[in-house]
Amino acid sequence: MKAPLELLEEKFKHAARRAFPDLGDIAVEITQSTQEKFGHYQCNSAMKLAKELKANPRAIAKELIKHIDSSGEPFIANLEIAGPGFINITLEKSYLEKFLHLIITDEHLGIDKPAHKQRVIVEFSSPNIAKEMHVGHLRSTIIGDCLARLFEFLGHDTLRINHIGDWGTAFGMLIAYMKEYTPAVLTGEEETDLPHLMQWYRESKKKFDADPDFKKRGQLQVVSLQSGEPEAMKAWQVICDISRKAYQEIYDLLDIKLTEKGESFYQPFLKPLVDDLENRGVLEISDGAKCLFVEGFKGRDGNTLPLMIQKSDGGFPYDATDMAAIRYRIEEEKVDRIIYVVDAGQGLHFQMVFKGAEIAGYLDRNKITVEHVPFGLVLGQDGKKFRTRSGETERLIDLLNTAIEKADEILKERDPSLSEKERKERAHILGISAIKYADLSCHRTGDYTFSYERMLRFEGNTAAFLLYAYVRVAGIKRKIKIDIESIKNEPITLSHPSEVSLALHLVRFDEALEQVTKDLLPNRLTDYLYNLAEKFHAFYRDCQVEGTPEQNSRLLLCEAVTRTMKQGLHILGIETLEKM
């Protein structure tokens, strides 16, 4: 079923066209009311129209109302002109009741499949091989997964891409180092892990800078690797596999699926990219390197900044892979929208890649949407970039496991009678949810302070608060011992204002999701769910459920709450519990 906002927009647009045929197509502005006592929605278009027509806004509002089509299913209960010419809109209860039934019976909660199905790439996580994922990658992973889940739920064709940094000159020196110091690892005879790899990486870097002979050997390895020499390729594979294993551990804990298509994937497309750009005449040689100068982007010295497509030594830098990737995604993967979830520090890089792709003729921004979705830093209690006590960058796996352990302690205290097994299961969900929710509920572009204590609280805008609200609603249903299935088709009657307010919020789920597809701010969804829990609590305070004549109707309202909450949390990447 259409979300009320969409339906209202249609109706008002239609009314405007009929009332003022000379004005052609008019964009109407409808918003959710800020105060429910005035109505559910409001139309703000009369003022603007009045300016255009040099007329009185209240008279215009009156004309609009006169032309609203009221045939068909009951939808609008009341229209009222207020202030300078706002139209306050109140929806019919019967419309809300009908929508609630859909939420309960339709597996897609009454939300229509998209009129225009899109192919969307959400590129997220993207750590760098031979290095640990850091908190920045964690933010990307959590936000990207949420956006991908959202597009999947709404019915878009969604590709979850992990653009890992698995190629480049740094691997040459690492392979050279490992060949000399840990040859058995490279042949696969000996196993190791990512922390060791990182240590060797650091040591190889030191040696590279200090020892010219080693430097030469490292550079030779790069050449071997780039020409696909089998021994070098095997070594590179081994290094990638060790890193991948560590990343997978984190993805498993977070229950996140990704398709790896890293920098190396675009290797075969780099040479053709250079040829194509040369044919198009957009490359210039600068200091021996092949560059695409991007108009509109200037450095501090006032000169136009370039994307470097090929270095003077023949190597292909970061800019080149991203140009090859955007071209591949548009031409081969035929996407409608590409979303890059990468920290705010890379903003300039992406704006230049997008513009560069336009200059090259790969990207037509009227047809394809490309967006860099930046996010802020994670801060420690000291307000500085998040670190462990020893000053090292925190290992993500430790951070996740600590959250689970702390959740376990809290659960132990709350209910000592829980069996070990049950507690562990719940602690896992609670700990991981707390981390995800704390991240998603902050405004994406801002920095936020990491605090186990705060994220695991049961009050306020937290995962625990929502999970617990869900458990409470589930508990009510359980206690009354009526099979929802058997009363599903009974009437829902909204009588108390708290019921109407809750119902109105429920039918706005689609509007909240649509908003997130536009501005890609997950906190809009966390806010929506937090408000849903609050509205549910108000309803439960004001309306008795058990043993009243309204019992079954109210139970169905509870059912709509649990279904919406479960789905909403699922989009955030949070699984619900039946008991807590």
Which residues of the shown chain bind ligand ARG in the complex (CB under 6 A)? 123, 126-128, 163, 165, 322, 325, 340, 342
Which residue number, 76 or 370, has a Cβ lying nearer to ligand ARG? 370
Taking the CB of residue 507, how many other CB atoms lie within 10 A of it?
26
Which residue number, 205 or 566, has a Cβ lying nearer to ligand ARG? 205
CB of 129 to ligand ARG, least distance (A): 9
Strand-pair partners of 306: 293
Which residue number, 283 or 326, has a Cβ lying nearer to ligand ARG? 326
Distance, CA of 57 to CA of 51 (rounded, Å): 8
Tell me how far apart the terminal alpha carbons of the chain are, to the nearest angstrom.
34
CB of 343 to ligand ARG, least distance (A): 7
Which residue number, 110 or 144, has a Cβ lying nearer to ligand ARG? 144
The answer to whether residues 555 and 487 touch, using CB atoms and an 8 Å cutoff, is yes
Distance, CA of 218 to CA of 198 (rounded, Å): 17
Which residue number, 184 or 348, has a Cβ lying nearer to ligand ARG? 348
CB of 353 to ligand ARG, least distance (A): 8
Distance, CA of 187 to CA of 498 (rounded, Å): 68
Which residue number, 322 or 499, has a Cβ lying nearer to ligand ARG? 322
CB of 121 to ligand ARG, least distance (A): 10
Which residue number, 126 or 462, has a Cβ lying nearer to ligand ARG? 126
CB of 334 to ligand ARG, least distance (A): 18
The answer to whether residues 139 and 342 touch, using CB atoms and an 8 Å cutoff, is no
The answer to whether residues 444 and 344 touch, using CB atoms and an 8 Å cutoff, is no
CB of 125 to ligand ARG, least distance (A): 9
Taking the CB of residue 445, how many other CB atoms lie within 10 A of it?
11
Strands 337-341 and 119-123: parallel
Element (H, E) at 371: strand 369-373
Residue 349, classified by CB atoms within 10 Å of its CB into exposed (0-12), middle (13-18) or buried (19+), is middle
Distance, CA of 273 to CA of 265 (rounded, Å): 14
The answer to whether residues 572 and 440 touch, using CB atoms and an 8 Å cutoff, is yes
Which residue number, 158 or 433, has a Cβ lying nearer to ligand ARG? 158
CB of 141 to ligand ARG, least distance (A): 11
The answer to whether residues 517 and 151 touch, using CB atoms and an 8 Å cutoff, is yes
CB of 159 to ligand ARG, least distance (A): 13
* Residue 449 region by backbone torsions, left for phi larger than 0, else alpha for psi between -120 and 50, else beta: beta
